Amino acid sequence: MDRTGLSELLQRACRREPAALTELIERYSPRVFGLLYRLTRSRDAAEDLLQETFLRVVRTIDRYEHVGRFEAWLFRIAANLARDRARQRARRGDMTPVDVSWADERDQPADHDLVRATDPLERVVQREAREQLLAALGRLSEPEREIVLLRHYSELSFREIAELLGVPLGTALARAHRALKHLRAHLADEV
Amino acid sequence: MQRELGKLEQIVEREMGLLRRLPCAVPDEPCLARVRAAVLAENQRLVRRRRLLRISRTVAGAAAAVLLAVSLRLPAGLHSADPEAILGEWAVAWDASRTRVAHLLDEGWRGEETDDRVDDEAAIDDLFQSLSQTLDRFEDL
């Protein structure tokens, strides 16, 4: 959707038109859910937080000022909710295991793989590559996982992500660089 | 400094290619249906609350204007009744009206649990009743 279209959609959402709110949900749910699922490593938690994210949006949409990017506002809400949940779990000493395997059968191949998915052997290779990537992501620290997943799902620039996280751009970039370096090392271990 | 950050950003963006194989985790349709329903219900509740806020402000404004008009028309020397007691009763009635309005604003309506129309009309009737009683107190002066 181009910026003009989004601007009109947000104006209608600010006027609380149900169809506009539904359209926002349809449009952004996949990416928001993707982020929440990969951050929480729990489908149930991601579903709850997805609902809470959009409830917060609807409660404050009429005060939203479209000066920045809507995605920055939306993903800030989602990331904060995920972080709050992680803190609550830590405070409670919640040792409930997260989904051991991130590879959910409902997961769809990445766009990158869809093009080459015809050969059975290729599909096996792709599946293994996905599982290795997910395992390697699971070994990152929470802040490192958060920043690379935010970049991946929100499609915001690192400057916008730095603002969202309340850190300087240099810190955000350094954290992402460190995260990807660790990710590469873990991937090498997984092979 | 900015140049170094720019270079670092380019390096990091290139390295983000590591995540290109990340599977697309998508919410299933029952989850989406729940989210839509919850959001639309909350939206409806907020729309009603905003409508009541507008009504109550209009009514409160009108009541204040009437009270002012009544107070300005009070004949001089009308001090046979105990003015402090009457003002006290009026203040209590006015507080009760404001409390009622605040309660309605805070609690809102749970449209999905009750019949919306009945709640709307009954609650607004109560509000007018309460304000009418405060005006009656003042008319006794």
A179 three-state secondary structure = helix
Q: What is the predicted pLDDT for the residue at B110? A: 43
Contact B42 A51 (CB under 8 A): no
Contact A130 B19 (CB under 8 A): no
Q: How far apart are CA A172 and CA A185, in angstroms?
A: 20
Q: What mean pLDDT do residues A74-91 have? A: 92
Q: How far apart are CA A96 and CA A45, in angstroms?
A: 12
For chain B, the distance separating the N- and C-terminal CA atoms, rounded to the nearest angstrom, is 77
> How much is the mean pLDDT over chain A?
86
Q: How far apart are CA A160 and CA B138, in angstroms?
A: 59
Q: What is the predicted pLDDT for the residue at B124? A: 55
Higher pLDDT, A120 or A118: A120
**Nearest Cβ partner for B42 among A47, A55, A137:** A55
Contact A34 B31 (CB under 8 A): no
Which residues of B are less than 8 Å from A74 in CB distance? none
Split at pLDDT 50, 70, 90, the class of A167 is very high
Q: Which of A3, A155, A127 is nearest to A67 (CA)?
A: A3
**Do residues A93 and B14 make contact, with C-beta atoms less than 8 angstroms apart?**
no
Q: What is the predicted pLDDT for the residue at A125? A: 82
Contact B23 A38 (CB under 8 A): no
Which residues of chain B carry a pLDDT beneath 70?
Answer: 69-83, 86-87, 89-91, 93-94, 96-98, 100-141
pLDDT at A113 over 60: no
Higher pLDDT, B62 or A96: B62
Residue with tokens 């005060």: A63
Split at pLDDT 50, 70, 90, the class of A65 is confident
Distance from the B67 Cα atom to the nearest Cα atom in chain A, whole angstroms: 34
Q: What is the predicted pLDDT for the residue at B113? A: 42
Residue with tokens 């920043």: A147
**B99-108 as b/e: b if 16+ CB within 10 A:** ebbeebeeeb
pTM over the 0.90 mark = no
What tens digit of pLDDT does each residue of A15-41 get?
A: 999 999 999 999 999 999 999 999 999
Taking CA atoms, B137 is separated from B71, B80, B87, B133, in Å, by: 12, 15, 8, 6
Complex ipTM: 0.84
**Do residues B18 and A110 make contact, with C-beta atoms less than 8 angstroms apart?**
no
Estimate the share of chain A in helix, then strand, then coil, as percent rounded to the nearest 5: 75, 0, 25
**Nearest Cβ partner for A110 among B5, B23, B27:** B23
Distance from the A90 Cα atom to the nearest Cα atom in chain B, whole angstroms: 25
Taking CA atoms, A187 is separated from A1, A38, A138, A139, B57, in Å, by: 35, 17, 11, 10, 63
